C-alpha cells in the first residue's frame, strides 16, 4: 500500500462528507449561493481522487514490474 492509495482513501472520505453536506445541510438552509461553491468543491475533490488513484496505479505497476521503467 503506497502513500497515494492512502491519500485516495482519505479524499474519498472527504468526498462522502461533502456529498452528504451538499444533499442534507444545504437543502435545509436553502441558500443558493453556497450550493454552487460546494458543488465545485465536491467536483474538485472527485478530480483529486481520480488523479491520486491513477498515480497509485502507475506506482504499483512500476514497483511490480521494474523492468518497464525507462532509464535515461
C-beta neighbour count of 3 within 10 angstroms: 11
**What is the structure's pLDDT at 32?**
65
pLDDT tens digit string along 15-67?
A: 888 777 777 776 677 766 677 777 787 888 888 888 888 888 888 888 888 87
d(C-alpha 7, C-alpha 45), whole Å: 11
- pTM above the 0.75 mark? no
d(C-alpha 68, C-alpha 34), whole Å: 47
For the record, the C-alpha cell of 59 comes out as: 506506482
Amino acid at each position: 500500500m503506497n502513500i497515494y492509495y492512502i491519500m485516495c482513501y482519505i479524499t474519498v472520505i472527504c468526498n462522502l462528507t461533502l456529498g452528504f453536506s451538499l444533499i442534507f445541510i444545504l437543502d435545509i438552509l436553502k441558500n443558493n449561493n453556497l450550493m454552487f461553491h460546494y458543488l465545485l468543491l465536491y467536483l474538485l475533490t472527485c478530480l483529486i481522487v481520480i488523479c491520486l488513484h491513477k498515480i497509485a496505479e502507475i506506482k504499483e505497476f512500476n514497483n511490480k514490474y521494474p523492468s518497464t521503467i525507462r532509464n535515461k
